Amino acid sequence: MSSASPGLLVLADGEEFEGDLFGATPDGAAVGEVVFNTVMSGYQEVISDPSYAGQIITFTSTQIGNYGVTPADDESERPHCRGVIVRELSRTHSNWRATGDLNSFLIEHGIAGLSGIDTRRLTRHLRDRGAMPGAFGPDADIARSVAATATTTDGIDLVSTVTRDRRTIAGTDPEADRQIVAIDCGIKTTIVRHLAGLGSVELVPASISADELMTLHPNGVFLSNGPGDPAAVSYVVDTVRQILGRVPIFGICMGHQMLAQALGASTFKLPFGHHGGNHPVRDLVTDKVEITSQNHNYCVDLDGVADVAVTHINLNDGTLEGFESTAYPAFGIQYHPEAGPGPHDSQYLFDRFANLMDAR
């Protein structure tokens, strides 16, 4: 990697952090909502997760890039995040699976990075003040100007920027006679692999209507993860509302939020979101504790919603992590049971979806 150029990160509240640029050279400044992620590994999976559209990812792990990158770890065709911030970018990488280095990966996909930042101070600031817009680049004046006018993800439909534009057959298990339709709000590749282990999977655009969806004769409908404010994607909620009771439904992350809204719930923004691979969640049905992978800025409020049962709770802050409808064959989980990256404690939830389909 060539000698680094200095760069400046400026947050919307005026806080500044000096560092060194890497990855693609930003066009003026890289701008987005700045969040932090606590995973110890899996940086490529995080960066390529479409749910980070509109955001700048700060990694709290001290060194990033030390095992390189490989196409096998991509969670989408390309990253949708706005930038990457690290404490130290590894100058070399070593892993038998690696086909390249992180710096080149970001250059290839046009993603700017900033290293040498005191990520501990930045994380503490975001934890105390909340996730906020920010901008970084080589020109301090441009970074300050852009940061002052940058917006959050609130009220913005980012799903339309990451969903596919046509129906796609993703894969099938020849021994599993189930037809699954997955509404793509920004679906991760690892989720698709898990669903393909349950049956034939057809990925459809988030804009699909309920009538068109039902012509595919699904045994189950999956609602995927995705970026941005769930309250801004009413067209998906309308579709889900129209298929309730007609087919089993399983939602993950934003899909969980979409399902909840279709049942009458509301959503609200968390102060700094849940982004990491070590969040403890209690399963209220079994009383077991799972260590989970999470990536969401918004949360569901079930207050006043009838015919739902809370199934999972976050042990860090007590927020809702899972529920099931008692009126319809439908359930949602706020975290990521497919991991990628993260622990595999929660993969049983895909079996629960299979059982729900088989029961119908």
Is 154 part of a structural domain of the chain? Answer: no
Cβ contact 101:128 at 8 Å = no
> Looking at the structure, do residues 191 and 145 belong to the same domain, yes or no?
no
The answer to whether 275 is a known catalytic residue is no
Domains: count for the chain: 2
Is 123 part of a structural domain of the chain? Answer: yes
**Over residues 168-177, mean pLDDT:** 75
pTM for this one? 0.95
> Looking at the structure, do residues 202 and 313 belong to the same domain, yes or no?
yes
Q: Which residues pair with 168 in a beta bridge?
A: 203
> Looking at the structure, do residues 114 and 167 belong to the same domain, yes or no?
no
What's the pLDDT tens digit per position in 254-270? Answer: 999 999 999 999 999 99
> Looking at the structure, do residues 169 and 257 belong to the same domain, yes or no?
yes
Query: Using 50, 70 and 90 to split pLDDT, how confident is the model at 194?
Result: very high
> Looking at the structure, do residues 168 and 142 belong to the same domain, yes or no?
no
Is 52 part of a structural domain of the chain? Answer: yes
In whole numbers, what is the pLDDT of the chain averaged over residues? 96
Q: Give the active site residue among 33, 253, 275, 312.
A: 253
pLDDT at 127 over 60: yes
The boundaries of the domain holding residue 139 are 5-149
> Looking at the structure, do residues 333 and 299 belong to the same domain, yes or no?
yes
**Over residues 264-292, mean pLDDT:** 96
The answer to whether 338 is a known catalytic residue is yes
Question: How much of the chain is helix, strand and coil, in % rounded to 5?
Answer: 25, 35, 40
**Over residues 223-250, mean pLDDT:** 98
> Looking at the structure, do residues 188 and 306 belong to the same domain, yes or no?
yes
Helices first, then strands: H and E counts in the chain: 10, 19
pLDDT reported for residue 4 = 79
Is 89 part of a structural domain of the chain? Answer: yes
Supply the angle between the helices 234-243 and 254-262 in degrees, to the nearest 10: 60
> Looking at the structure, do residues 313 and 210 belong to the same domain, yes or no?
yes
**Over residues 172-199, mean pLDDT:** 90
> Looking at the structure, do residues 340 and 231 belong to the same domain, yes or no?
yes
pLDDT at 3 over 70: no
Query: Using 50, 70 and 90 to split pLDDT, how confident is the model at 73?
Result: very high
The CATH number of whichever domain residue 269 belongs to comes to 3.40.50.880
How many whole angstroms separate alpha carbon 139 and alpha carbon 29? Answer: 8
Q: Please say which residue of 149, 171, 197 terminates a domain.
A: 149
> Looking at the structure, do residues 181 and 264 belong to the same domain, yes or no?
yes
226 versus 1: the higher-pLDDT residue is: 226
pLDDT reported for residue 177 = 84
pLDDT at 277 over 50: yes
Contacts (Cβ under 8 Å, ≥6 apart) of 167? 202, 203, 204, 205
Q: Please say which residue of 149, 169, 186 terminates a domain.
A: 149
pLDDT reported for residue 262 = 98
- Token representation of residue 339: 């991991």
> Looking at the structure, do residues 218 and 265 belong to the same domain, yes or no?
yes
> Looking at the structure, do residues 210 and 338 belong to the same domain, yes or no?
yes
**Over residues 23-49, mean pLDDT:** 96
